[in-house]
């Protein structure tokens, strides 16, 4: 484990603060977690600059530059259970091909694969295990509930919002109830076609 290793999150978020939208019938299940909010990820594919990290992504040039630096930092991922389920368990792998996945839950997960690790003993243990696996790279947290838990435990160094100019009006709110104010300092703001990349650090 490196002392320099950071814990951060990077999520696509609407201007009114949702990371997923509504499903037409109100049912929230595997593979449909984004509901009517698919546009949150249009910027992955609406440019002509291929990502050097994620094959198949073609972004605008400013988005590609920002996205690839962030994606390349990830040495391990901690995902909330809901994100894991809504992502169809990433087919037994992880969101990032080269980074091991730690799934945070209070319950058993019979579907967990041998390449994935379930952590049921809390966010501190999940992040400690992910840090150990990440080596000199950083730990990415996925899911609003998981991120909020990590913020409450004062374990988050940076928060990245890929803010998409849409008001969704409903869905899953990104930040849930934090027990006290968390102050953020803006490091960079990059306006790109269809998305603004906002990179904050947590002020301690």
Ligand X SMILES: NC(=O)c1ccc[n+]([C@@H]2O[C@H](COP(=O)([O-])OP(=O)(O)OC[C@H]3O[C@@H](n4cnc5c(N)ncnc54)[C@H](OP(=O)(O)O)[C@@H]3O)[C@@H](O)[C@H]2O)c1
Interface residues with ligand X (CB under 6 A)?
11-12, 19-20, 33-34, 40, 80-83, 86, 104-107, 122-123, 142-146, 149, 172
Residue 196 burial (CB count, 10 A)? 16
Structure tokens at 113: 């694969």
Give the shortest CB-48-to-ligand X separation in angstroms. 23
Cβ atoms of 22 and 36 within 8 Å: the answer is yes
The residue (of 12 and 74) whose beta carbon lies closer to ligand X is: 12
Place of tokens 């962030």: 70
CB contact at 8 A, 190 and 47: no
CB of 67 to ligand X, least distance (A): 12
Separation between Cα atoms, residue 56 and residue 190, nearest integer Å = 23
Give the span between the Cα atoms of 195 and 44, in whole angstroms. 10
Measured from the CB atom, the residue of 4 and 107 that comes closer to ligand X is 107
* Shortest CB 142 distance to ligand X, Å: 5
Helix (H) or strand (E) holding 58: strand 58-59
Q: Pick between residue 23 and residue 49 the one whose CB is nearest to ligand X.
A: 23
Nearer to ligand X by Cβ, of 5 and 82: the residue is 82
> What is the CA 1 to chain-centroid distance, rounded?
21
- Which C-beta is closer to ligand X: that of 61 or that of 124? 124
CB of 169 to ligand X, least distance (A): 15
> CB 34 → ligand X: shortest distance, Å?
5
């Amino acid at each position: 484990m490196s002392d320099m290793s950071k814990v951060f999150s990077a999520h696509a978020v609407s201007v009114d603060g949702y990371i997923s939208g509504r499903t037409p019938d109100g049912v929230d299940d595997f593979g449909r977690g984004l509901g009517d909010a698919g546009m949150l990820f249009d910027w992955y594919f609406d440019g002509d600059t291929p990502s050097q990290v994620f094959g198949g992504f073609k972004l605008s040039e400013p988005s590609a530059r920002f996205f690839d630096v962030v994606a390349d930092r990830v040495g391990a991922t901690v995902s909330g259970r809901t994100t894991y389920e809504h992502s169809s368990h990433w087919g037994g792998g992880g969101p990032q091909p080269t980074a091991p996945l730690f799934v945070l839950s209070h319950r058993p997960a019979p579907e967990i694969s041998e390449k994935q690790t379930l952590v049921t003993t809390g966010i501190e243990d999940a992040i400690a295990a992910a840090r150990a696996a990440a080596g000199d790279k950083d730990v990415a947290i996925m899911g609003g509930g998981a991120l909020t838990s990590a913020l409450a435990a004062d374990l988050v160094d940076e928060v990245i919002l890929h803010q998409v100019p849409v008001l969704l009006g409903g869905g899953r709110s990104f930040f849930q109830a934090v027990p006290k104010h968390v102050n953020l300092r803006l490091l960079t703001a990059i306006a790109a076609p269809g998305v603004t990349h906002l990179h904050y650090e947590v002020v301690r």
